[in-house]
Amino acid sequence: MMKKNMYINGEWTAATNGHTRTIINPFNQETIAEVPEGDETDTQSAILAAREAFDNGEWRHTSATERGKLVQKVAELIERDQQELAELETLDSGKTLTESIDDMKTIAEVFRYYGGLADKDGGEVIESPIPDSRSKVVREPVGVCGQITPWNYPLLQASWKLAPALAAGNTLIIKPSEITPLTTIKVMELIEEAGVPKGVANLVLGSGAKTGQLLAESHSVDLISFTGGIETGRKVMTAATGNFKKVALELGGKNPNIVFDDADFDTAVDQALNAVFFHAGQVCSAGARLLVQDSIHDPFIEALVERAKQIKLGNGFDGSTQSGPLISKEHREKVENYVQIGIQEGANLITGGKRPKAEGLQAGFFFEPTIFTECETSMRIVQEETFGPLLTVERFNTEEEAVQLANDSKYGLAGAVWTTDIRKAERVVSELRMGTVWINDFHPYFAQAPWGGYKASGIGRELGKQGLEEYTEVKHVYENTNPAPLHWF
Ligand SMILES: NC(=O)c1ccc[n+]([C@@H]2O[C@H](COP(=O)([O-])OP(=O)(O)OC[C@H]3O[C@@H](n4cnc5c(N)ncnc54)[C@H](O)[C@@H]3O)[C@@H](O)[C@H]2O)c1
Ligand SMILES: C[N+](C)(C)CC=O
């Protein structure tokens, strides 16, 4: 069993209270690691270290080029240790090793991208309307950043925060989900190895209530970046009002996947499965809400159900596994509860809806790929994020109806449109109120393109140049080139 520590002010440390937490593998519930269960005292130490490193340290005065090189060095180290990181992620989260390896490649690219972007914005000289003056606009680091991440893409979500924060010259405290901390701990070791100065990057481990909440509340923290569910996001945003810190929120989604009758049928079926059942549906942008044009509804659902029944659940380390378990006992119970809600609401459960009976899956938190048809937009299973392998299907007739149904949600994270008529796709896309829209695809995201939500799916953007800008303040510098008394007074 691994034993790991927190990283505060350049030191690997246990929790001050001596408490620990065991980390389990969701595939078989075996204990894989023991980590500190920190609390407010440790969080406060990490905040103080980050504050000192920002206010009195060298980091923010280090040239952007040098900072960028260090961030790129982290990318190289992640690539060097890719296999170890991917195995840790699979052990901790249950996702397949293939998914974890893909995640690690994306993560290295994110560090490389922000390392490269660090010195590309030298500010902007602007035209001043006042004679004898010069004006420029520069970007500066925000200061001390609190970063809180979820369990479904543990290191990937952390990388979207760590890389731009460091590239922009901030100091930070990251708090990963208490149930999946292992890869974030490992990447902190790599950040240390790369040579990032002590106090600049800090790691606290513990429950959200005892660590994350303080990051959001503390007046010594200048920015809080949170990825997680909407109810926690609400708490974070409320706590952040104490000192009006900058807030970035990446929250949930209930993402419509719209299939028109002129779409390539087989591709749309194949990708509709991937949209919702990838990583057992534990994806913020999962296509958990399928909207199918009535004229192809029945054959489409028939093909979908046939394929859903064949999805191979299993150990993420087994090369033939297509989907791993859910993350925890509590989370599986939440998904099971939504199945009951769907049945009570009158939706038609046509496959799944229960735990698999197969041998070898009984110790893990597995759940069958589940499909409900004849759903109505007003149903809770259509409106709420179930975050599991649960697909709801609604019918539509016209383009306008598809748009109206798709937008009828408090969320606005992502969505997709399947059609061979590109004009129709463009019309629909322009009406969808979502941060990412795919045409004839589902799921792609990459370092260069911004990611984030409309409406209750969040505030701000990660990735792309916008993801770096979140970690900067904008300063206007005005110079009077011919100062003289005004004689006003
Ligand atoms: N929009 C995105 O890019 C994106 C990406 C991944 C996950 N998510 C969302 O994350 C959710 C799943 O993750 P989860 O179950 O870990 O979410 P969660 O909200 O339960 O927890 C997220 C993090 O917040 C911490 N936390 C809990 N209470 C807190 C508090 N009072 N103050 C501060 N921090 C607190 C947790 O310890 C954890 O680290 C889903 O809703 C999913 O859609 C969104
Ligand atoms: C943002 N993404 C798609 C990587 C993970 C969402 O849960």
Alpha helices in 258-412 (DSSP H): 265-277, 297-308, 329-345, 380-383, 399-407
Domain with CATH 3.40.309.10 in the chain: 256-439
Kindly indicate whether the ipTM for this predicted assembly is greater than 0.95, answering yes or no.
yes
Q: Using one digit for the tens of pLDDT, what is the confidence trace for 209-267?
A: 999 999 999 999 999 999 999 999 999 999 999 999 999 999 999 999 999 999 999 99
Which ligand has the minimum distance to the alpha carbon of residue 95? 2
Dihedral pair phi/psi, residue 139, rounded to 5°: -110, 135
Which ligand has the minimum distance to the alpha carbon of residue 455? 1
Q: Among 148, 179, 205, 334, which is best to mutate for testing ligand 1, by the most ligand atoms less than 8 A from CB?
A: 148
For residue 480, the surrounding DSSP H or E stretch is strand 472-480
Asked if 328 and 179 touch (Cβ cutoff 8 Å), the reply is: yes
Q: Using one digit for the tens of pLDDT, what is the confidence trace for 23-68?
A: 999 999 999 999 999 999 999 999 999 999 999 999 999 999 999 9
- Ligand 1 proximal residues by C-beta, below 6 Å: 148-153, 157, 175, 177-178, 207-209, 212-213, 216, 227-229, 232, 235-236, 250-253, 284, 385, 387, 413, 453, 458
The candidate with the shortest Cα–Cα distance to 70, out of 29, 35, 112, is 112
Residue in this structure with the two tokens 């994350």, named with its chain if needed: 212
Residue in this structure with the two tokens 């004839």, named with its chain if needed: 440
The DSSP secondary structure of 112-153, one letter per residue, reads HHHHHHTTS---EEE--SSSSEEEEEEEEE--EEEEE--SSS
Q: Which residue is catalytic, options 89, 250, 399, 462?
A: 250
CA-153 nearest atom, ligand 2? 5
Which residue type, as a one-letter code, is found at position 107? Answer: I
- Note the pLDDT of residue 339: 98
Residue with CA at minimum distance from ligand 1 atom 35: 208
CA of 232 to the centre of ligand 1 (A): 6
Asked if 367 and 355 touch (Cβ cutoff 8 Å), the reply is: yes
Structure tokens at 330: 């509590």
Q: Would the CB of 158 count as within 6 Å of ligand 2? A: no
Residue in this structure with the two tokens 């993402």, named with its chain if needed: 255
Domain with CATH 3.40.605.10 in the chain: 2-251+457-476
250 is catalytic: yes
Which residue type, as a one-letter code, is found at position 229? Answer: G
Q: Which residues contact 456 (CB under 8 A, 6 or more apart)?
A: 230, 251, 252, 410, 411, 412
Asked if 208 and 96 touch (Cβ cutoff 8 Å), the reply is: no
CA of 210 to the centre of ligand 1 (A): 14
Residue in this structure with the two tokens 């500010």, named with its chain if needed: 123
CA of 231 to the centre of ligand 1 (A): 9
Which ligand has the minimum distance to the alpha carbon of residue 331? 1
* Mean pLDDT over each residue of the chain, to the nearest integer: 98
- Note the pLDDT of residue 140: 98
CA-283 nearest atom, ligand 2? 7
Architecture of domain 256-439: 3-Layer(aba) Sandwich (3.40)
**Low-confidence residues in the chain, pLDDT < 70:** none
Q: How far is CA 177 from CA 15, 148, 209, 417, 483, in A?
A: 16, 7, 11, 33, 55
Which ligand has the minimum distance to the alpha carbon of residue 175? 1
Report how far Cα 280 is from the mean position of its chain's Cα atoms. 16
Give this prediction's pTM.
0.98
Residue with CA at minimum distance from ligand 1 atom 39: 177
- Note the pLDDT of residue 1: 86
CA of 152 to the centre of ligand 1 (A): 9
Architecture of domain 2-251+457-476: 3-Layer(aba) Sandwich (3.40)
Q: In angstroms, rounded to a whole number, what is the distance separating the alpha carbons of residues 173 and 39?
A: 13
Q: Among 227, 276, 384, 411, which is best to mutate for testing ligand 1, by the most ligand atoms less than 8 A from CB?
A: 227
